[in-house]
């Protein structure tokens, strides 16, 4: 009897945990073979200006290729090109590219294989004196803004020293020749991925093989006001025939980004269609320290998406897009109303964005949470089933052992 009950209990537990593990394994297993190269095809006598470089990251799939190109020739930009060929390659007309003399000096061949292209360009850093401590540039008087830092004029560090072949990262740091950036810098760290996962550093965005990540931080900048705050301006440039919008989604889980229950997605989709083909995804949070704890988090918010009349001053964008591309822009501002902590307190602020193709990755519960849920729901179920079977068996045994009268 007890052997039967033990076997039954084991069988029920096996089913419950088997279902949980099956759910866990139902993740994104798609992988790409990723490689990194600097200044593809550049040979003497042609040389780039000091500090300028072009990084090409190639993600090879089973029947397609995803190209990421990061360049600081002018305003820093990340170009993403998706092709339906495993043989597609980047070709650069270096004399024209260096001189920024004509569009079309950078191509992905064969051009007929290109299915989608878009670029994210960081154009300006705005500084404003937040006297009323609202952390809202939209409600701040124009007179409180200082002249913006034009990123197209920044002097950048040598990319040769920061390209990581093993960890698929590139770090780009720069600044102006002004007192503000005497001991400060604006940095962008690019990361490519071979498969699904999460960054260990907050906000721990979920990525996959069709995405890349940019972490942007402003460190050590000398302020021009007593109550200075910052906003980051960037623009998205894409093929004509596509349009963009910003969606904000809510979540019940803040396991990976404590106290943050929302995610913002700047998506691109074809005209007359709702299918998303590309995205920029971020969580509305920034951090005041490079290795933050919970108290170092501060909210951030985005402005309304606006259509731009011209493309930004980026050598990469100007070289790749030959026809009339569609350009949108928005700002990300940091801080919250009545926030007691200003940039001057830590001299550091960071923000992270995911750039990719297809549908944006969606958050899901971790293995630990799923096991806890399975145990929490499965244990009462096991008790009910085993208890019911035990009662049924007892009744049957009692009935079968009773005395039956002889007719």
- Neighbouring CB atoms inside 10 A of 199's CB total 17
Q: How does pLDDT run across 158-169, given as a tens digit for each residue?
A: 887 888 888 899
367 SS3 class: helix
What is the band of 70 on the pLDDT scale with cuts at 50, 70, 90? very high
Q: How many CA atoms lie within 13 A of 369 on its CB side?
A: 9
Lowest-pLDDT choice from 210-219, 233-242, 376-385: 376-385
pTM score: 0.85
Residue environment code for 297-316, b if the CB has 16+ CB neighbours within 10 A, otherwise e? bbbbbbbeeeeeeebbbbbb
Please answer whether residues 110 and 320 qualify as being in contact, where contact means their C-beta atoms are separated by less than 8 angstroms: no
- Secondary element (H or E) of residue 21: helix 2-24
Please answer whether residues 208 and 195 qualify as being in contact, where contact means their C-beta atoms are separated by less than 8 angstroms: yes
- Secondary element (H or E) of residue 384: helix 367-400
pLDDT at residue 378, rounded to an integer? 58
pLDDT at residue 273, rounded to an integer? 85
Domain assignments of the chain as residue spans, ordered by start: 123-357
Lowest-pLDDT choice from 8-12, 165-169, 351-355, 356-360: 8-12
- Nearest Cα to Cα of residue 216 among 345, 121, 342: 121
Lowest-pLDDT choice from 24-38, 53-67, 102-116, 279-293: 24-38
Q: Is the pLDDT of residue 253 over 80?
A: no
User: How remote is the C-alpha of 43 from its chain's centroid?
Assistant: 34
What is the band of 324 on the pLDDT scale with cuts at 50, 70, 90? confident
Q: Is the pLDDT of residue 7 over 80?
A: no
- Diameter of the chain measured on Cα atoms: 116
- Nearest Cα to Cα of residue 280 among 205, 350, 230: 205
């Amino acid at each position: 009897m007890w052997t039967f009950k033990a076997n039954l209990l084991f069988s029920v537990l096996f089913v419950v945990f088997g279902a949980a593990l099956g759910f866990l394994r139902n993740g994104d297993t798609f992988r790409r073979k990723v490689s990194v190269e600097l200044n593809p095809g550049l040979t003497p006598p042609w040389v780039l200006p000091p500090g300028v470089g072009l990084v090409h990251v190639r993600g090879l799939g089973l029947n397609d290729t995803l190209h990421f190109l990061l360049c600081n020739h002018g305003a820093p930009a990340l170009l993403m090109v998706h092709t339906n060929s495993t043989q597609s390659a980047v070709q650069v007309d270096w004399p024209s590219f260096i001189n920024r003399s004509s569009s079309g000096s950078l191509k992905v061949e064969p051009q007929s294989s290109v299915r989608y292209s878009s670029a994210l360009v960081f154009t300006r850093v705005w500084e404003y004196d937040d006297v009323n401590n609202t952390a809202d540039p939209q409600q701040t008087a124009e007179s409180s803004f200082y002249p913006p830092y034009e990123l197209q004029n920044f002097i950048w560090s040598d990319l040769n020293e920061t390209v990581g072949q093993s960890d698929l990262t590139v770090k780009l740091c720069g600044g102006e020749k002004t007192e503000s950036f005497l001991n400060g810098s604006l940095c962008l760290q690019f990361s490519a991925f071979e498969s699904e996962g999460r960054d260990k550093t907050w906000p721990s965005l979920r990525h996959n093989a069709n995405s890349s990540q940019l972490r942007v931080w402003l460190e050590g900048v000398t302020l021009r006001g007593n109550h200075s705050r910052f906003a980051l301006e960037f623009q998205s440039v894409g093929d004509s025939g596509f349009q963009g919008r910003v969606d904000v989604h809510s979540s019940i889980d803040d396991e990976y980004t404590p106290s943050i229950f929302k995610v913002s997605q700047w998506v691109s989709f074809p005209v007359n269609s709702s299918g998303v083909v590309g995205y920029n995804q971020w969580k509305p949070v920034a951090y005041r320290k490079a290795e933050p704890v919970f108290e170092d988090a501060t909210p951030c918010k985005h402005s309304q998406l606006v259509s731009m009349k011209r493309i930004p001053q980026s050598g990469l964008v100007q070289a790749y897009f030959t026809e009339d591309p569609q350009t949108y822009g928005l700002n990300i501002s940091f801080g919250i109303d009545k926030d007691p902590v200003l940039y001057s307190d830590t001299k550091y602020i960071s923000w992270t964005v995911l750039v990719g193709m297809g549908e944006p990755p969606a958050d899901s519960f971790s293995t630990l949470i799923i096991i806890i849920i399975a145990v929490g729901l499965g244990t009462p179920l096991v008790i009910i089933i085993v208890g019911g079977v035990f009662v049924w068996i007892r009744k049957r045994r009692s009935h079968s052992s009773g005395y039956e009268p002889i007719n």
